[in-house]
Amino acid sequence: MRRILPLVLVLGLGGCIELPKLNVGAGISAVVPNESTLENTYQVDLFARIDVAMLQVEAMVGWRSYEYTPEGLSDGEELTVIPIAVTARYVIGATAAKLVMGGGLVWNVNDLSEAMTTVQNVDSALGYRLLVGANIVLPAGFNLGVEAIYDISKAALDSGTLDELDMSGLIGRVTLAYHF
């Protein structure tokens, strides 16, 4: 009996334990900033995500470029942003389509193409990220994600008139991932 009990426990509980899944993929996003001096743009990103039961942790690095035109100037400069984000997500549902919601941190590494008369530099900034979306399981180990993300971030400016640039905004993201 002593030898059978551990075997029964392992076989019985083995179906309840889900092994972690690693997802790697790419995403493309439409970015709508709150700041009127930044134009709408797009973002491309690469990510890795670990799924364990109803939790996901994602690390993402992306690239986007804004046309930045401070008020009072007619010509703008290119502001390149490399967002690096880590998000924790809660997954609802066990079917082929799952609801996802969560949040995390985003580090925006900013680079102004050249110094302007009013702005010399846009510093990098740490911010917060909230998201809601859905993951749809596709055949052959792929899944499709659709997300609405709201970033909250303000970058300090080396400027004579402005103190900070509001980097906050809404991001609509579509991802394609392969899970192992």
**Rounded average pLDDT over 15-24:** 77
Q: What percent of the chain has pLDDT over 90?
A: 56
Residues 33 and 168: their CA atoms lie apart, in Å, by 6
> To the nearest whole number, what is the mean pLDDT of the chain?
86
**What are the structure tokens assigned to 32, written together?**
């709508």
> Which of 3-17, 90-104, 133-147, 148-162 has the lowest average pLDDT?
3-17
Rounded to 10 degrees, the C-alpha dihedral 94/96/86/128 comes to -90
- Which residue type is seen at 44? V
> Which of 14-23, 89-98, 161-170 has the lowest average pLDDT?
14-23
Strand order from edge to edge, sheet including 154-159: 119-122, 154-159, 164-166
Domains and CATH numbers, the chain: 23-179 (2.40.160.20)
Closest CA to 158 of 121, 126, 124, 125: 121
Tell me, yes or no, if the pTM score tops 0.85: no
Residues 175 and 101: their CA atoms lie apart, in Å, by 15
pLDDT score recorded for residue 15: 47
Q: What is the pLDDT of residues 102-138, one digit of tens each?
A: 999 999 998 887 666 556 678 889 999 999 999 999 9
